[in-house]
């Protein structure tokens, strides 16, 4: 099956019935995908404030009403507990299980947060002839925990996580300009060059994802990463939390290009 040409509604239907349980990279060309964080209402204000104070790391696409599983804005006829291929349940910050459906775990006090993902700007980079190395090499994007403190909010604080892409020096301005137009999916890079300046010791040993090849004349370019909110939430050990499993995203009905405006 070529899922890249299917509509988000078609792919979500296959996810809902359990026919798709794989990662969603490359599915539904042109449509935005989203990170998921579900928290009980007792933690929702602090988390929402955290995202407001760290908008480049945590660009919110939609927040549900308390207890409501239905997605209303970025997709139609979608249920946040069934329409993601794989979920992770955390209790007190510790992984307590992986699920392909969390409708039985849903609670009346749960609030979902769907957060923009760099998958959206990567297709724009490729369209602008900027190479995206981890896609060329068929691996996951390399991600690093930095020494950059996020702005804390209530119980949530921690270091920012960045994704890194090697870019030919002459294309860095174009890469910055293309992504700066998409603030709802992390926006412009936050650092170019020297990794140690942001607390990264070894580009060949990412904290998450896979290492990628550098060619002569390329510099590392760093963007805030959607792993930041999950990392920060887990560090604060909430009583209960549900997230998507890495790479297993929610596919929206919202086109990447519409996130520019």
Place of tokens 């409501």: 68
Check residue 183 for interaction with a second copy (CB under 8 A).
yes
> Which of the stretches 9-17, 150-158, 225-233, 240-248 binds a second copy when contact is defined by CB under 8 A?
150-158
Q: How far is the CB of 133 from a second copy (least distance, A)?
A: 26
Yes or no: say if 179 and 128 are a contact pair by the CB < 8 Å rule.
Answer: no
Q: Does residue 113 come out as left (phi exceeding 0), alpha (psi in the -120 to 50 range) or beta?
A: beta
Residues 41-70 touching a second copy, rule: CB under 8 A, are 44-45, 48-49, 51-53, 60, 63, 65
The single residue among 7, 21, 22, 73 that binds a second copy, judged by CB under 8 A, is: 73
Nearer to a second copy, 188 or 200 (CB): 188
Nearer to a second copy, 87 or 121 (CB): 121
Nearer to a second copy, 180 or 197 (CB): 180
Other CB atoms within 10 Å distance of the CB of residue 52: 12
**Residues found in the chain:** 261
Which residues in 13-121 belong to E strands, given as ranges? 31-40, 60-63, 70-71, 78-79, 87-91, 94-99, 110-116
The single residue among 15, 135, 145, 188 that binds a second copy, judged by CB under 8 A, is: 188
> Which of the stretches 75-83, 118-126, 146-154, 207-215 binds a second copy when contact is defined by CB under 8 A?
146-154
The single residue among 4, 180, 196, 237 that binds a second copy, judged by CB under 8 A, is: 180
Nearer to a second copy, 29 or 65 (CB): 65
Strands 110-116 and 31-40: antiparallel
Cα separation, 214 vs 193, in Å, equals: 12
Give φ, ψ of 164 to 5 degrees: -130, 135
Which residues of the chain form contacts with a second copy (CB under 8 A)? 44-45, 48-49, 51-53, 60, 63, 65, 73, 151, 153-154, 180, 183, 188, 261
């Amino acid at each position: 099956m070529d899922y890249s040409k299917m509509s988000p509604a078609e792919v979500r239907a296959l996810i809902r019935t359990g026919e798709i349980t794989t990662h969603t990279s490359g599915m539904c060309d042109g449509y935005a995908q989203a990170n998921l964080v579900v928290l009980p209402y007792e933690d929702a204000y602090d988390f929402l404030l955290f995202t407001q104070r760290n908008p480049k790391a945590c660009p919110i696409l939609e927040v549900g009403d308390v207890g409501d599983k239905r997605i209303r804005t970025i997709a139609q006829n979608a249920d946040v507990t069934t329409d993601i291929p794989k979920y992770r349940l955390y209790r007190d910050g510790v992984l307590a299980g992986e699920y392909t459906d969390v409708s039985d775990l849903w609670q009346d006090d749960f609030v979902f947060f769907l957060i923009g993902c760099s998958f959206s700007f990567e297709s724009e980079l490729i369209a602008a002839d900027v190479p995206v190395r981890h896609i060329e090499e068929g691996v996951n994007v390399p991600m690093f925990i930095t020494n950059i403190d996020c702005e804390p909010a209530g119980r949530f604080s921690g270091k920012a996580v960045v994704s890194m892409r090697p870019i030919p020096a002459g294309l860095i301005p174009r890469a910055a300009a293309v992504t700066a137009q998409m603030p709802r999916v992390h926006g412009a890079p936050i650092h170019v060059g020297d990794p140690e300046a942001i607390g990264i010791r070894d580009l060949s040993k990412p904290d998450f994802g896979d290492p990628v090849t550098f060619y002569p004349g390329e510099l590392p370019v760093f963007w805030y990463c959607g792993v930041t909110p999950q990392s920060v939430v887990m560090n604060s050990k909430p009583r209960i939390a549900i997230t998507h499993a890495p790479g297993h995203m929610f596919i929206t009905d919202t086109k990447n290009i519409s996130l520019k405006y």
